[in-house]
Amino acid sequence: MSSDLSPVIGKVFLVGAGPGDPGLITVRGAECLAQADLVLYDGLVNPLLLRLTKGLCVRTARVRRDDALIVAQAEINARLISEAQAGRTVVRLKGGDPYIFGRGGEEVVALYEAGIPFEVVPGVTAATGAGEYAGFSFTHREISSSVAFVTGHEDPNREESRLNYRALAAFPGTLVFYMGLSRIKEICEQLQVAGMPGNVPAAVVCHASLPSQKVVEGTLETLPALTAIQHLRPPSLIVIGECVRHRAQLSWFEKLPLFGVSIGVTRPEDQAEDVAQQIVRMGGEPVLMPMIQVGPVNRPQQTEIARVLRQLQRFQWLVFTSVNGVAEFFRHLHDAKLDTRCLANAQIAAIGPSTAERLRSFGINPDVVPAEYNAESLARTLATKVHGKTVLWVRASRGRDVLPRMLTDVGALFAQLVVYENRDVDTLCPEVASRLKAGTLDWIGLSSPSIARRFAQLLKTATIAPAELLTRIATISPLTSAAARESGLTVAVEATVATWNGILQAIERSKYSPPSQK
């Protein structure tokens, strides 16, 4: 019987994360992540998905890869149970689909036996991810009437679990082996011994649906030797059947403009979402490495902000120079129990398209967006309009003094309102530092002079000499390039339009022209 004193039991959601591309999680899976207090994710899950949750995230890996912790299955089951018993909403996030070779079934049985409520959300399994992203139509009408998902990771010492190669060799369709790369030689040999012709097309797909996706094509006979010389890294699948031949027509992912390119995004994390998303959609790998943390202002400042907001009608112009400034401004407006009617008398200026877009999301269409997206251009555009007018600049705690200088010069009655704080990040995260040292991060985008300077400082703290950096630098504007060069960095490309989109376009263009400097 339930009473107010009985403990509230939580719930476990077993969610399929998909094969790698974070866009391949289901809508239901994303909803579960948004509600989670705790996310236990396995080694195959793309960490970019963790942006969908505010809960605590803990990685569990049963196989040692890099420096990940190995957690025994029994321990995972016990944690799922105890967290739910403590009343938490837990998401168990698993690569691909939870029930396809994922031990999801075992986890659910443990929950069932412990009386824990659960739901299970399907995911795109690695095979279908590889099918679409690498170009294999497993059951293409003219070539195959069935497909089998097979584990290649059978314990050879367990007589009874040996694969029935004779049945597999006679299978009338495509075979997809999971977990088989380390035993590829044996798999291909055994299929031939069991009667499958050696010239049957076969391929290995590594990291399907990720920017690091790689496909090696051959035949049953040639594939083991071909893969041996390629230094392929798991996870990977072996695809065997006629469908391998048609890949040239079906492949699209590897043709995306930034396919395989990794790009460090130095923006504050809460503004990096759009950029990360766009890099993924262009086939690249975003690596989040914020140089500046954005935080709220302190209490006395909040009181001051509320005081200014109540007098907003005094201002004839409001100037916004960052996406964050817009978001924080409206948050403070809301906290002060005010709304957009306060802005009715003011003309509004935005420094660039992203800031303008954020304003539009609050129902405000800016009157001015300069042709070039920097403070000088904004000041020049406003110069003819603000003489003798009251102007309020909504800003971060740190920034350049171009606007106050230039607008006071033209006779504006200039005031400023700091709505959020910028703080420097102290260190590079270890993963980024090691990739910079190893040269496995292709690019870094620097989107302001202060970010460029900060990045150079952090390199030195990580004992990397800016001049020896293997990663190429793309900057947002000439000013940022100048700051980067002054800090000892070499700039490889510069955006022609001063937005993150411009940075990505510059990187894309550089693919077609040899790097002038490295």
* Binding positions for ligand SAH, rule: CB under 6 A: 19-20, 44, 94-97, 100-102, 125-126, 129-130, 178-179, 205, 207-210, 234-237
Helices 449-461 and 478-486, packing angle to 10 deg: 30
DSSP state of 55: S
CB of 80 to ligand SAH, least distance (A): 17
In whole angstroms, the minimum distance from the beta carbon of 243 to ligand SAH comes to 16
Nearer to ligand SAH, 185 or 387 (CB): 185
- In the complex with ligand SAH, the residue whose CB is nearer, 92 or 453, is 92
Phi/psi at 254 (5° precision): -70, -10
Contact 273, 249 (CB under 8 A): no
Residue 383 beta carbon to ligand SAH: minimum distance, rounded to whole angstroms: 54
**How many Cβ atoms sit within 10 Å of the Cβ of residue 33?**
25
Nearest residue (CB) to ligand SAH, 209 versus 322: 209
Nearest approach in angstroms of CB 42 to ligand SAH is 8
CB-nearer residue toward ligand SAH: 94 or 454: 94
Are 351 and 367 spatial neighbours (Cβ–Cβ below 8 Å)?
no
Return d(Cα 443, Cα 263) in angstroms, integer.
Answer: 5
What tokens were used for 190?
């055994």
Q: What is the CA radius of gyration of the chain?
A: 28
Please identify, using beta-carbon distances, which residue of 232 and 392 lies nearer to ligand SAH.
232
Containing 166, the helix (H) or strand (E) segment is helix 165-169
| Cβ-based burial of 254 (10 A; exposed 0-12, middle 13-18, buried ≥19) | middle
**What does the block give as tokens for 79?**
């944690």
User: Distance between CA 143 and CA 133 in Å, rounded?
Assistant: 19
197 CB neighbour count, 10 Å cutoff: 11
Shortest separation between residue 236's beta carbon and ligand SAH, angstroms? 5
Q: Is the dihedral of CA 340, 342, 344, 348 positive or negative?
A: negative
* Residue with smaller CB distance to ligand SAH, 125 or 322: 125
Residue at shortest CB range from ligand SAH? 96
Least distance (Å) between residue 235 CB and ligand SAH: 4
- Nearer Cβ to ligand SAH, position 233 or 511? 233
Q: Which helix (H) or strand (E) holds 219?
A: strand 214-219
Measured distance CA(70)–CA(80) in Å, rounded: 16
Least distance (Å) from ligand SAH to the CB of residue 391? 53
Q: Are 223 and 202 in contact (CB under 8 A)?
A: yes
CB of 102 or CB of 502, closer to ligand SAH: 102
Closest contact distance (angstroms) between CB of 194 and ligand SAH is 22
